[in-house]
């Protein structure tokens, strides 16, 4: 009888350890990707400019630990740059995304703020990005700071850290969509 009880306790202990390891593994959040910041459908724009554009992006949080995010996450300029380039290609607001030396225009994006509440079932991120479109000669065509929000709920992800990341990515995605819509209405 003691042997059976001992085996049962060992099995229960192993089950608890396995459950704890699974829970800890679920707490890990995948890093953000550029694809998660590109609008799901191509942004509808009024005008498709025949010019070539170069894209640059920075984040005031680049180089800081936990940049614009919670520890272990980053929403960096390089990811935003890639996302903006992909969104331009999808929307065709410009004919091509090229390197700076080959471009007729340069679109610069700066992530100024991308905040989420520290806890909650639903996370709403508030994002602020500065946008500047210049001609290759450096003359400014358009400049604006855009604000956007992105929300993630418990149905999107169980773990709060994942919901916070998703909300921040959605806020950046919405900001990119706003910028492309505005550029698509410009007379270039």
- What's the pLDDT tens digit per position in 14-58? 444 434 333 434 445 566 777 878 888 888 899 999 999 999 999
CATH of the domain at 118: 3.40.50.10610
Same domain, 22 and 45: no
Structural domain total, the chain: 2
**Residue 188 belongs to a domain:** no
Structure tokens at 134: 């210049």
Tell me what pLDDT residue 2 has: 59
Helix axes 160-183, 77-91, angle to 10 degrees: 50
- Assess contact for 59 and 78: CB atoms under 8 A: no
Residue of 25 and 110 predicted with greater confidence: 110
* Residues found in the chain: 188
Q: Please compute the mean of the pLDDT values over residues 173-177 and round it to a whole number.
A: 96
The chain-wide mean pLDDT, for the chain, equals: 81
Same domain, 70 and 97: yes
Range(s) of the domain holding residue 23: 1-28
**Residue 162 belongs to a domain:** yes
pTM: 0.77
Structure tokens at 35: 């694809």
The model's confidence at residue 6, banded by pLDDT at 50, 70 and 90, is: low
Residue of 57 and 1 predicted with greater confidence: 57
- Tens of pLDDT, residues 52-101: 999 999 988 776 544 444 444 445 888 899 999 999 999 999 999 999 89
Tell me what pLDDT residue 96 has: 96
* Interatomic CA distance for residues 84 and 61, integer angstroms: 18
Same domain, 4 and 55: no
């Amino acid at each position: 009888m003691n042997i059976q009880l001992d085996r049962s306790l060992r099995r229960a202990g192993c089950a608890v350890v396995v459950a704890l390891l699974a829970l800890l593994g679920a707490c890990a959040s995948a890093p953000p990707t550029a694809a998660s910041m590109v609008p799901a459908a191509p942004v509808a724009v009024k005008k498709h400019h025949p010019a070539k554009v170069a894209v640059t992006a920075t984040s005031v949080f680049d180089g800081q630990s936990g940049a614009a995010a919670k520890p272990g996450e980053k929403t960096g300029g390089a990811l935003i740059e890639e996302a903006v380039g992909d969104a331009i290609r999808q929307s065709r607001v410009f004919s091509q995304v090229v390197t700076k030396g080959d471009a007729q225009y340069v679109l610069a994006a700066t992530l100024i703020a991308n905040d989420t509440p520290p806890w909650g079932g639903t996370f709403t991120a508030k994002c602020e990005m500065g946008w500047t479109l210049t001609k290759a000669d450096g003359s400014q065509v358009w400049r604006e700071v855009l604000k956007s929000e992105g929300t993630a709920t418990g149905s999107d992800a169980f773990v709060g850290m994942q919901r916070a990341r998703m909300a921040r990515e959605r806020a950046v995605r919405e900001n990119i969509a706003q910028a492309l819509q505005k550029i698509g209405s410009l007379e270039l």
